[in-house]
Amino acid sequence: MKIIAIAISFIVAIVCYSGAALAGSANFVFDARTGRVLASENADVLNHPASLTKMMTIYMTFEAIKRGKLTWDTKVPFSKYASSRPPTKLGVKAGGSITVRDAVYGMIVKSANDAAAAMAEKLAGSESAFAVAMTKRARQLGMNRTVFKNASGLPNSAQVTTARDMATLGVALIRDFPREYKMFSVESFVFNGKRIRGHNNLMYRYEGMDGIKTGYTNASGFNLVSAVRVGDRRVIGVVLGGRTAASRDRTMQALIDRAIGKAGRGDQMIAAAKPAPAEIEAPAPAAARRAAIAEVPVPAFAPRAADEGVEVAVAEVESDPVSVASVAPVPATRYGSAYVDPRSKGVAAIEAQVAPPAPNTLNAQAAAISSGWQIQIAAATSEKAAQSILQSAQSKVRALAGSRPFTQAVKSGGSTLYRARFVGFASEQEARKACDSLTQQSYQCLLMPGEG
């Protein structure tokens, strides 16, 4: 019941304040022939991929076909879970099935979340197991900062990527599957007797643009990965966190216009070390799959580019259960008047500008962490940076006055991350009130019970 309460609380917090802009503006353009970077802004800042996630689901589907595990006519069954995914979707009922071909076209053209979930279950038994395999494959491709939590890109705060990583995935699709990649240029397809049209409007009008994928959630903003080929020049562009679809497309067009003439000529894609495709492993026990949201740094969001636009509400939030690990203290702090916004400056800048607070006692640490409710707002690559984020949050939100700031060191992929938490709330209601106030200030917030 605690896990259910956590998930519901997180959904409520995000949906109630869906107007807060959480996405960061980022772009990256590079020459797919030489690997030369032609444009870059916040290329390594973490952002949410939204439906760009489906590029990896499709990549792994192509791999399964290449290995003979699937054919284009293999039937993909839809479970109750897959069919219940929120729009956009193909609308296949539970117990129904479609071909792999239709599933891939559904993901490319319609950006169908139900098709992505069904494909994940077909390949790995469950979507969560498939997400683990996706992240593993991402590392093999050189996507060093991306973490996948589902196959579709539906909202999950722990699902993150960068503009550079998405460009890497784009070039991998073209390089490794040149024939199958042509599917990304399709403007429409017929499904169940109806023609379904896509919405990659820039691709339809920009000469030489032959893919690849759009994406949008309220948390991500408007995302786009584009590939352009003009003569024997080939560039890949990524725009993340656009305020509107139109502004995102304008940004991409301007970037490509400036970059294409600088690209090298040739007929080869950039070389990359490509280990043998990882076989998708059988699902691990449920306890082993509970990767906490804080195992990955919460995005140090860059500011969105100024632009007007209307955002639609998030349809659904999917969040993994959180397990509470051993905790290192965040010392008691005295806050100065200066406020450093972690979303606009980034973790590195915060770390450089804010001095570490004075130490706390182990007894206070144990008492605070073992009683009451807790909330988590971020995870950083150093304890000092996590402390700074906590300082900034507490200086902005009065509802945090009765809580204690703590950091929590956890191992993740051979490195250490520091969770930024406030602990010791007397009740769930108080913790939720603090989460709501933090969300209004564009912080991410996860609610959880204490250990006591």
Are the beta carbons of 191 and 90 closer than 8 angstroms? yes
Per-residue pLDDT at 216: 93
Q: What domains are defined for the chain?
A: 22-286 (3.40.710.10), 324-449 (3.30.70.1070)
Rg of the chain's alpha carbons, rounded to an integer?
22
Catalytic pick from 51, 83, 220, 247? 51
H or E stretch including 73? none
| Residue 213 pLDDT grade (very low, low, confident, very high; cuts 50, 70, 90) | very high
Higher pLDDT, 339 or 18: 18
Residue 276, C-beta contacts closer than 8 angstroms, at least 6 positions apart: none
- Residue 287 pLDDT exceeds 60: no
Asked whether 173 and 274 are in contact (CB, 8 A), the reply is: no
DSSP state of 161: B
Predicted local confidence at residue 306, as pLDDT = 34
- Per the listing, tokens 């193909």 go with 90
Q: What is the C-alpha separation between 389 and 330, in angstroms, rounded?
A: 11
Report pLDDT for 6: 46
Bridge pairing between strands 75-77 and 97-99:
antiparallel
**C-alpha angle 7-8-14 in degrees, rounded to nearest 5:** 90
The answer, yes or no, to whether residue 65 has pLDDT greater than 90, is: yes
Clarify whether 111 is annotated catalytic: yes
Please state, in angstroms and rounded to a whole number, the distance separating the CA atoms of residues 169 and 165.
Answer: 6
pLDDT at 366 over 60: no
- For the chain, the average pLDDT equals 76
Distance CA 13, CA 446 (A): 9
Q: Which of the pair, 216 or 22, is modelled with greater confidence?
A: 216
pLDDT band at 412 (very low <50, low <70, confident <90, very high): low
Res 345: pLDDT = 34
Query: Is pLDDT above 80 for 316?
Result: no
What is the average per-residue pLDDT within 321-325? 30
What are the structure tokens assigned to 291, written together? 């990767």
Q: What is the pLDDT of residues 369-401, one digit of tens each?
A: 545 788 888 777 788 888 888 888 888 888 888
Beta bridge partners of 214: 224
Mean pLDDT of 114-123: 98
- What is the reported pTM? 0.61
Catalytic residue among 9, 25, 54, 437: 54
Catalytic residue (choose from 18, 111, 128, 226): 111
**198-202, 280-284, 304-308, 429-433: segment of lowest average pLDDT:** 304-308
Helix, coil or strand: residue 84: coil
Look at residues 294, 348, 364 and name the one whose alpha carbon lies nearest to residue 149: 294
Residue 414's pLDDT band, with cuts at 50, 70 and 90, is low
Please report which helix (H) or strand (E) contains residue 387, including its range.
helix 383-396
pLDDT higher than 60, residue 319: no
* Residue 337 confidence (pLDDT) above 80: no
* Omega prior to 57 cis, within 30 of 0: no
Reduce the DSSP state of residue 16 to 3 states and report it: helix
Can you give the pLDDT at residue 408?
86
Give SS3 for 23.
Answer: coil
Q: Which tops the pLDDT comparison, 70 or 446?
A: 70
Q: What is the pLDDT of residue 280?
A: 60
Question: 451 to each of 289, 424, 446, how far by Cα in Å?
Answer: 20, 11, 15
Which of 103-117, 209-223, 380-394 is modeled with the greatest confidence?
103-117
Residue 188 is among the residues annotated as catalytic for this protein: no
51 a catalytic residue: yes
Contact 383, 409 (CB under 8 A): yes
